[in-house]
Amino acid sequence: MIEESTTRTERFERGRAVLDAVDGESGERLVASLADIAPELGHQVISWAYGEVYARPGMPPRDRQLMTLGMLTALGDTGPELEVHIGAALNVGLSPDEIVEAFLHAVLYCGFPRAINAVTVAKKVFAERGLLPLGGAASAG
Amino acid sequence: MIEESTTRTERFERGRAVLDAVDGESGERLVASLADIAPELGHQVISWAYGEVYARPGMPPRDRQLMTLGMLTALGDTGPELEVHIGAALNVGLSPDEIVEAFLHAVLYCGFPRAINAVTVAKKVFAERGLLPLGGAASAG
Amino acid sequence: MIEESTTRTERFERGRAVLDAVDGESGERLVASLADIAPELGHQVISWAYGEVYARPGMPPRDRQLMTLGMLTALGDTGPELEVHIGAALNVGLSPDEIVEAFLHAVLYCGFPRAINAVTVAKKVFAERGLLPLGGAASAG
Amino acid sequence: MIEESTTRTERFERGRAVLDAVDGESGERLVASLADIAPELGHQVISWAYGEVYARPGMPPRDRQLMTLGMLTALGDTGPELEVHIGAALNVGLSPDEIVEAFLHAVLYCGFPRAINAVTVAKKVFAERGLLPLGGAASAG
Amino acid sequence: MIEESTTRTERFERGRAVLDAVDGESGERLVASLADIAPELGHQVISWAYGEVYARPGMPPRDRQLMTLGMLTALGDTGPELEVHIGAALNVGLSPDEIVEAFLHAVLYCGFPRAINAVTVAKKVFAERGLLPLGGAASAG
Amino acid sequence: MIEESTTRTERFERGRAVLDAVDGESGERLVASLADIAPELGHQVISWAYGEVYARPGMPPRDRQLMTLGMLTALGDTGPELEVHIGAALNVGLSPDEIVEAFLHAVLYCGFPRAINAVTVAKKVFAERGLLPLGGAASAG
């Protein structure tokens, strides 16, 4: 439990440091896209989501992304965020095969359509990183 | 409680009058797009949704749109309707800043992804009306 | 209750036979699109969804598609699958007018936005098959 | 297309007649439970949902209930309404076995949890009507 | 934009002050119920949801509750929170009639079942406060 | 890829063996509760969900439960299944603290209400196993 006194800016910077380890690039892109309409929302994503929640030591980054993939697959309507977090999942150590296995597992709880749609998003991310076909000699991203 | 005798056409016309105060143009566009496939659905949107429900005096148009923004943000998968109702919200007196604040508030109940996606739709609507950047010297729409 | 001994391949082939009666083409397309990323998911769609569930005699294909249209309309975020199953619904004997009536009925349980979005998908499918305008002299697909 | 002039009361009565063929008792109970808080909502369920939508000839009652079971299973959070409509489904000619088969079919699109929860509701309705065990010598309700 | 330096405890206290104006009692109850299992979650509800988001001046409490009622009605599965926020809505100036009207409006976007279920929750809250029947001589809560 | 020839009963037994390692007791209870109404659904949960999907080696049981907790939290309306899978998560090695941390993480993607409701279910499961208060000297269940 952090009891030191911090400024809003310091909390933002702490969030940015956490975010950088997960997916710094997409975080920057999000903040930039919100700058002219909802800068406070961009601030809170970094400062609170990453600086307060992701920063907690009780759950390693890989577990957080697995949990996140589960939630976004079930919500079903958050394709852009799923795309970001499939990338983040790769960044923190989930393999492409593990991600696909997670979506196959999702059939049991979300049904085929949402699982298939999640795989379709993964296919885009994996293709951009040169990871397809899985099991083959994937070229570097 | 309206006890006069009305025809189906009269009820449609009453709905159209109510709709015109909110977002007549998008209503006409919807009815037109349904004309060759589901004209009854188009009729009921105008006649019942606007003529029976929106027409009731117990809730001013601004409150109805705020409630509607909340519902569409939470549903998450109704982007086209959210776009229409962000426009309608502006038409009935919600400011762009109030709409963005509403979506920031939505993070608490719907999570970041659906709130961010709602802002993304707002960004499109605001841009078309020349309202961006917020807080700046927005040119007229 | 089937007690004969079957191989995985035999179960896949049984599923493909059932699928062919519903929408063989879109099934093949799905399996192909999953081949380089999630072949097991493609296998299970055919082998289990069609070979085990659709294959059961207790519900005729038309009823299965009606039930499926209801679910996909309510889920709201599964447009690609709704498109496939509107096509399948036509294939197994639901008329375009029945499908549109089903979506009008959906307003009661899912609200206008999801019903309208389902009709928008139907409009695309019907147009591709030359079925629009409904009630008019639709040319063959 | 109904072009005669009708009063609000006449439209309510038309809805009540349609409702009676589906599940008059649960309709009366709903209207009664809303009487001291939201009588207009009770009115619109009868007058519009039944009088305008259910009343349309393009979809027989059995098909409407099948579609409704699909939607309520997918929504997942509407147990009281699912209970009413499982009863209505029995009333308009769906057999207990067909209803259970529909929920098994639902696994494909909604996943196991929502399908199982729907069966749990069905179990309550079937038990109250003396229909369990299925396939056995069910005593009359 | 608050740039002063604050401690975690100060931010919690700021949230509690904001919460007290909305529904202090249910907030205390929530924090207490989370104390032995998820104290950090209880902390963040107060500190962040109320201290950071609700505290912002851009949206008056009545508007925040209206937006919240919309979201919770659409989510459908969050009855306990809807109950709290119907109480909060009353606390910040929405009348019982306005709340019921909001749920009638919700039929258009969420369908009848979720709107009816929301009214059922309202009926419980209103009854506890002695506000039923609406339009009658409600005794004090 | 399993190419040996198997009977339906053999596939069920394989599923039961996998289930036993996760949560055999709740699986037996589910099959028993479905026996008089939907035995095929009970069969498929064991035979397919556990025998075909859970049985795959590509994802360890702990990861499957974490993914499952994410999905069930996001679905929101599947409390009975969440209860079962919180128990299963404990069985396969997730600690109570990790489970609570996962639900705190869920706030970011699902909002506070669904996260709080998931913790409420966890509280029940943890209490039954004598695990509360967390961090304290939990007495045996």
Counting residues of chain C whose pLDDT is more than 70, the rounded percentage is 94
Tell me the average pLDDT across A3-30. 92
Angstroms from B52 CA to nearest CA on chain F:
31
Confidence category of residue B135, pLDDT binned at 50, 70, 90 = confident
Q: Which pairs with CB-CB distance under 8 Å and at least 24 residues apart come from D43-48?
A: D43/D8, D43/D12, D44/B52, D44/B53, D44/E104, D44/E107, D45/D15, D45/E112, D45/E116, D46/D12, D46/D15, D46/D16, D46/D19, D47/D8, D47/D11, D47/D12, D47/D14, D47/D15, D48/B48, D48/B52, D48/D11, D48/D15
For residue E6, list its beta bridge partners: A6
Residues B83-106: pLDDT tens digits? 999 999 999 999 999 999 999 999
Q: Which residues of F touch A58 (CB under 8 A)?
A: 97-98, 101
Cβ of E93: how many Cβ atoms within 10 Å?
Answer: 11
Q: Subunits touching F (CB < 8 Å, at least 3 pairs)?
A: A, B, C, D, E
Query: Is there a contact between E78 and F107 if contact means CB atoms under 8 Å apart?
Result: no
Q: Subunits touching A (CB < 8 Å, at least 3 pairs)?
A: B, C, D, E, F
Residues B55-70: pLDDT tens digits? 999 999 999 999 999 9
Does residue D139 have a pLDDT over 90?
no
Say if residues F5 and C6 touch (Cβ distance below 8 Å).
Answer: yes
For residue D6, list its beta bridge partners: B6
Output A138 or B3, whichever has higher pLDDT: B3
Does residue C1 have a pLDDT over 80?
no
Q: What tokens does C128 get?
A: 């591709």
Tell me the average pLDDT across E68-83. 98
Residues F1-55: pLDDT tens digits? 457 899 999 999 999 999 998 988 999 999 999 999 999 999 999 999 999 999 9
Three-state DSSP class for residue A23 = helix
pLDDT (0 to 100) of residue E4: 85
pLDDT (0 to 100) of residue A23: 87
pLDDT (0 to 100) of residue F138: 37
Residues A112-123: pLDDT tens digits? 999 999 999 999
Q: Nearest-CA residue of chain D relative to A104?
A: D111
Query: Is there a contact between F3 and C2 if contact means CB atoms under 8 Å apart?
Result: no
Q: What tokens does D90 get?
A: 């029995």
Residues A82-106: pLDDT tens digits? 999 999 999 999 999 999 999 999 9
Tell me the average pLDDT across E61-68. 98
Three-state DSSP class for residue C36 = coil
Q: Which residues of E touch A6 (CB under 8 A)?
A: 5-7
CA separation for the pair A97, E9 (Å, rounded): 44
* Minimal Cβ distance to E6: which of A6, A9, A52: A6
Residues D94-126: pLDDT tens digits? 999 999 999 999 999 999 999 999 999 999 999
C108 inside 8 A of chain D by CB: yes
C107 inside 8 A of chain B by CB: yes
CA separation for the pair F94, B65 (Å, rounded): 44
CA atoms within 13 A on the CB side of C44: 24
CA separation for the pair C107, B48 (Å, rounded): 12
Say if residues D81 and D45 touch (Cβ distance below 8 Å).
Answer: no
Does residue C140 have a pLDDT over 80?
no
CA separation for the pair B65, B71 (Å, rounded): 10
Angstroms from C102 CA to nearest CA on chain D:
7
CA separation for the pair D123, B74 (Å, rounded): 31
Say if residues D67 and C106 touch (Cβ distance below 8 Å).
Answer: yes
Say if residues B110 and A75 touch (Cβ distance below 8 Å).
Answer: no
Output F83 or A136, whichever has higher pLDDT: F83
CA separation for the pair B89, B104 (Å, rounded): 16
Which residue, among A47, A68, A109, would best test binding to F if mutated, counting the most F CBs under 10 Å from its CB? A109
pLDDT (0 to 100) of residue F2: 52
Q: Which pairs with CB-CB distance under 8 Å and at least 24 residues apart come from D33-39?
A: D33/E120, D33/E123, D34/E116, D34/E119, D35/E133, D36/E123, D36/E132, D36/E133, D36/E134, D36/E136, D37/E96, D37/E100, D37/E119, D37/E122, D37/E123, D37/E126, D37/E132, D37/E133, D37/E134, D38/E100, D38/E103, D38/E104, D38/E119, D38/E122
E75 inside 8 A of chain C by CB: no
Query: Is there a contact between D113 and F41 if contact means CB atoms under 8 Å apart?
Result: no
Residues A46-92: pLDDT tens digits? 999 999 999 999 999 999 999 999 999 999 999 999 999 999 999 99
DSSP type of residue D86:
H
With b for 16 or more beta-carbon neighbours within 10 A and e for fewer, the D57-77 pattern comes to: eebebbbbbbbbbbbbbbbbb
Does residue B49 have a pLDDT over 70?
yes
D120 inside 8 A of chain F by CB: yes
Output F141 or D110, whichever has higher pLDDT: D110
A112 inside 8 A of chain C by CB: yes
CA separation for the pair B107, A42 (Å, rounded): 12
pLDDT (0 to 100) of residue A97: 98
Does residue C8 have a pLDDT over 90?
yes
Does residue F136 have a pLDDT over 50?
no
Query: Is there a contact between D111 and A108 if contact means CB atoms under 8 Å apart?
Result: yes
**Mean pLDDT of the residues in chain B:** 93
Angstroms from E41 CA to nearest CA on chain F:
6
Residues C37-78: pLDDT tens digits? 999 999 999 999 999 999 999 999 999 999 999 999 999 999
- Taken as a whole, chain D contains a residue count of 141
Q: Which residues of F touch E72 (CB under 8 A)?
A: 113
Residues D37-88: pLDDT tens digits? 999 999 999 999 999 999 999 999 999 999 999 999 999 999 999 999 999 9
Q: Which pairs with CB-CB distance under 8 Å and at least 24 residues apart come from B12-17?
A: B12/B43, B12/B46, B12/B47, B12/B51, B14/B47, B14/B51, B14/B55, B15/B45, B15/B46, B15/B47, B15/B48, B15/B49, B15/B50, B15/B51, B15/B52, B15/B54, B15/B55, B16/B46, B16/B50, B16/B51
Q: Nearest-CA residue of chain B relative to F113?
A: B109
ipTM score of the complex? 0.94
What DSSP string describes A27-83? HHHHHHHHTTT-HHHHHHIIIIIIIIIIT-TTS-HHHHHHHHHHHHHHH-S-HHHHH
Query: Is there a contact between E100 and D38 if contact means CB atoms under 8 Å apart?
Result: yes
Q: Nearest-CA residue of chain A relative to C43?
A: A104
**Mean pLDDT of the residues in chain C:** 93
Which residue, among B19, B108, B110, would best test binding to E if mutated, counting the most E CBs under 10 Å from its CB? B108
Does residue A141 have a pLDDT over 50?
no
D107 inside 8 A of chain C by CB: yes
CA separation for the pair E47, E67 (Å, rounded): 20
Query: Is there a contact between E113 and C109 if contact means CB atoms under 8 Å apart?
Result: yes
pLDDT (0 to 100) of residue E3: 73
pLDDT (0 to 100) of residue F54: 97
Q: Nearest-CA residue of chain B relative to A45?
A: B112
Q: Which residues of A touch C44 (CB under 8 A)?
A: 104, 107
Query: Is there a contact between C104 and D67 if contact means CB atoms under 8 Å apart?
Result: no
CA separation for the pair A100, C38 (Å, rounded): 6
Q: Which residues of C touch D98 (CB under 8 A)?
A: 58-59, 63
**Mean pLDDT of the residues in chain A:** 93
Query: Is there a contact between C119 and B77 if contact means CB atoms under 8 Å apart?
Result: no
Counting residues of chain E whose pLDDT is more than 90, the rounded percentage is 89
Confidence category of residue B138, pLDDT binned at 50, 70, 90 = very low
E80 inside 8 A of chain F by CB: yes
Does residue A139 have a pLDDT over 50?
no
Burial label, C38 (beta-carbon count in 10 A; 0-12, 13-18, 19+) = buried
Q: What tokens does B53 get?
A: 């429900």
Tell me the average pLDDT across F55-66. 97
Residues in contact with D39: Cβ distance below 8 Å, sequence separation at least 6, in sequence order:
none
pLDDT (0 to 100) of residue F3: 73
CA separation for the pair E22, F65 (Å, rounded): 37
Largest pairwise CA distance in chain E = 52
CA separation for the pair F82, F78 (Å, rounded): 6
Which residue, among B101, B119, B126, would best test binding to A if mutated, counting the most A CBs under 10 Å from its CB? B119
Q: What tokens does B106 get?
A: 């939505």
Does residue B137 have a pLDDT over 50?
no
Query: Is there a contact between A106 and F67 if contact means CB atoms under 8 Å apart?
Result: yes
